[in-house]
Amino acid sequence: MACGSAQNGKSLIDGQGRPISYLRISVTDRCDLRCRYCMAEQMTFLPREALLSLEEIALIAERFIARGVRKIRLTGGEPLVRRDAMDLARRLGRSLGHGLDELTLTTNGTRLADHAAALFDAGVRRVNVSLDSRDPDRFRFITRVGDVSKVLAGIDAARDAGLAVKINMVALKGLNADEIPSMLAWCAAEGHDLSLIETMPLGRIDEDRVDRFLPLSEVLASLRERFTLERDPHNSGGPARYWRLAGTATRLGLISPLTDNFCATCNRVRLTTEGQLFMCLGNEQSVDLKSAIREGGLAALDDAIDSALFRKPAAHDFRIAPGTAPTVSRHMSVTGG
Ligand code: SAM
């Protein structure tokens, strides 16, 4: 096996020879919003006793850092609804400059105003904030329960605290497609980046995702009629291509796992709040790190990580077609978006 037994902190190389340097951690599967494309209205969340403790998450993350992970993103569910999420951010922030290059967060922004300054103090410098519409009624419809003014206040607080903000917007036919140009213009005026995301077939929801699916190739073509977009060579190792809005600092990312995948350079793995390590968002295989660390400590954890890496698939299995079940049964909120 390419990565050996790795008890000595050898680097993380998967079975396809790809170096793994990025860990996403879902700190909770719970969320205070119910976005239509993400979740069903009635969701059953994990019982608290099934979750990794803060200490367990930190130990696993620190082991990944010792073995070569340089970037960690806290996500969920909504990470800021977990009571000890900021303690975790502070704990992981201590690894910055000691193996870890970057600690980031993906949030829906509803609680960001309360936590932005503390995130900066913990060492976070960039946050991704999901915002599928700036229109209050539309935002409420998409999220079923959300108040967009809280999210906009959170985004302002993040910027005031010194955090760079990237807006994540899922492109949805008939829901927010017409708002994409004004969202890009607003991001440019506010100094934020924007990432557009194709809706992915993850978990059952109350509608057929095909009805909302919008290929980003179409979105890009229509944006180019109104904006001058220049290719940006930035590569995050993820399923995104980047463009720069001419004359601004704003970078536009297109995350198009369905129409244009970049699995060959994938550098990431994902830890769920239950302690499962998923090697790929679009695949059902996982390895149980919770049992490994509880029953066999760090040595067993290393072995479980090695076995997971060896099994990381070459590419995801996403397909989207009318009337078909989601490719992957778990929701994005479980794996961590
Ligand atoms: N609660 C945080 C948030 O709202 O950003 C973090 C978790 S959320 C699951 C992460 C990202 O995944 C959000 O940008 C959300 O819009 C996106 N997302 C959720 N379900 C999705 C799906 N089925 N397809 C594409 N993106 C999805």
- The per-residue pLDDT for 318 is 76
- Determine the distance separating the centroid of ligand 1 and the alpha carbon of 38, expressed in angstroms: 6
Please indicate whether residue 130, judged by its CB atom, sits closer than 6 Å to ligand 1: yes
Q: Is 76 in the pocket of ligand 1 (CB under 6 A)?
A: yes
Q: What's the CA-to-centroid distance between 313 and ligand 1, angstroms?
A: 22
Token pair 């536009």 is at which residue? 252
The whole-angstrom distance between residue 288's C-alpha and the CA centroid of its chain comes to 20
- Residue 175 CA to its chain's centroid (Å): 22
Instruction: Give the pLDDT means over successive 10-residue stretches in the chain (337 positions).
Output: 44 93 96 94 91 97 97 97 97 98 98 98 98 98 97 98 98 96 98 95 81 92 96 79 95 86 87 95 91 97 96 82 76 77
**And the tokens for 100?**
């870890």
> Is ligand 1 within 6 A of the CB of residue 37?
yes
Task: Give me the sheet containing 164-171, strands edge to edge.
Answer: 229-232, 240-245, 251-255, 193-198, 164-171, 126-130, 102-107, 71-75, 22-26, 268-271, 276-278, 286-288
- How high is the pLDDT of residue 5? 38
pLDDT at residue 308, as a whole number: 95
What pTM was estimated for this model as a whole? 0.94
Which residue's CA is the closest to the ligand 1 atom numbered 10?
Answer: 337
d(CA 129, CA 188): 15
Q: Is 196 in the pocket of ligand 1 (CB under 6 A)?
A: no
Query: 320 CB under 6 A from ligand 1?
Result: no
